[in-house]
Each structure stands twice: as C-alpha cells, then as structure tokens.
C-alpha cells in the first residue's frame, strides 16, 4: 500500500504517494518526470543515477524514496541558474569536451557538485579517485577530470555560484 511522502525537489515541496519499496530513482523519473537522472546499472555501480540528498551525492537506485522523507533533493534539472544559462560546472564540462553520448553526464555533474563541499583537492589524482563510482563508456575521463578540477576551483573561489 502506498504511503504519503514529502520531498523538497529542486527547491519545490512535493507531496507524493509512494510504495515503501519504491526507489528514489523511480520516483524521480516516473512520478516527477525528472528523467535527467539516468537509470544505468541499477546495482549502485555506474553512478548515472546520482543526485544530491541534503547536499551529499547519493546513487538514487540504491536509496528508497521513503528514506528521504523531508530531505532536499537536487537533480540535474535543478542546477542551472535559469533557463538560458548553464551552471559553472556544466560550462566546464562543455569547455573541456567532457561528454560524448552524455548518458553519464548528469550523474558526474551531481557527483562533482557534492565534491565542492568535500575535502577533495582540485587535482587530477584526487578527482579521479573521487569520481571512481561514476563510470563513463565514451570519453576516457581526460576531459571529465579537467572539467571537474576547473569547476572545483571556480566554485570554491565563488561560493555563491555553487
């Protein structure tokens, strides 16, 4: 039987009705139509489904929606400052050609945004390690690592943009 659930998604309060077994990923994609959060492996390995839950990167295929009651969820649809501008981290991905098919990109961006507030130096090896839970089949990671390093530097220098 479904139960009521309240989430704050991309700054808006959402009242939902979900089954106790529903994954956060499923609720975001199927009830909220936030399909930028991608479904890849479904086994908590690829990171394509990564979102922010109260600012921390979470693989939404590995979290029950009811576990997030009252929490603040940010998806890729909620990061840009407005309809015509990209977020700084998105700009860095574009600048460094850090995507090809783009399937992994929302999850990588969300993981990178969580890193802004973590103790992760904006250096290649540290960033590669921090991104080890997010897989990309296309790019070889070179551009991704460059983009995240630059994004971390810019966002830490201007916290209001994070």
Rounded Cα–Cα distance for residues 55 and 73 (Å): 8
C-beta of 40 vs 78, nearer to ligand FES: 40
3-state secondary structure at position 144:
helix
Looking at the Cβ atoms of 15 and 99, the one nearer to ligand FES is: 99
Q: What angle do CA 152, 132, 25 make, to 5 degrees?
A: 90
Minimum CB distance to ligand FES, residue 60 (Å)? 7
Burial class (CB in 10 A: 0-12, 13-18, 19+), 28: buried
Residue 35 CB, nearest approach to ligand FES (Å) = 13
Minimum CB–partner distance for residue 77 and ligand FES (Å): 17
CA dihedral over 114, 117, 122, 124, signed as positive or negative = negative
Choose between 60 and 71: whose C-beta lies nearer to ligand FES.
60
Question: What residues line the site for ligand FES (CB under 6 A)?
Answer: 39-42, 44-49, 59, 61, 99-105, 136-139
């Amino acid at each position: 039987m479904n139960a009521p659930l309240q989430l704050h998604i991309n700054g808006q309060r959402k009242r939902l009705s979900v089954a106790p077994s529903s994954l956060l990923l499923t609720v975001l994609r199927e009830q909220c139509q936030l399909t930028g959060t991608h479904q890849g492996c479904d086994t908590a390995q690829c990171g394509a489904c990564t979102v922010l839950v109260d600012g921390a990167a979470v693989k939404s295929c590995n979290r029950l929606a009811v576990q997030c009651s009252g929490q603040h969820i940010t998806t890729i649809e909620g990061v840009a400052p407005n309809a015509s501008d990209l977020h700084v981290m998105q700009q860095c991905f574009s600048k460094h050609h850090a995507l090809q098919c783009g399937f992994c990109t929302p999850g990588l961006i969300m993981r990178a945004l969580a890193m802004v507030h973590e103790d992760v130096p904006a250096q290649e090896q540290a960033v590669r390690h921090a991104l080890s839970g997010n897989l990309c089949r296309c790019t070889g990671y070179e551009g991704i690592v460059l983009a995240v390093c630059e994004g971390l530097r810019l966002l830490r220098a201007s916290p209001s943009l994070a």
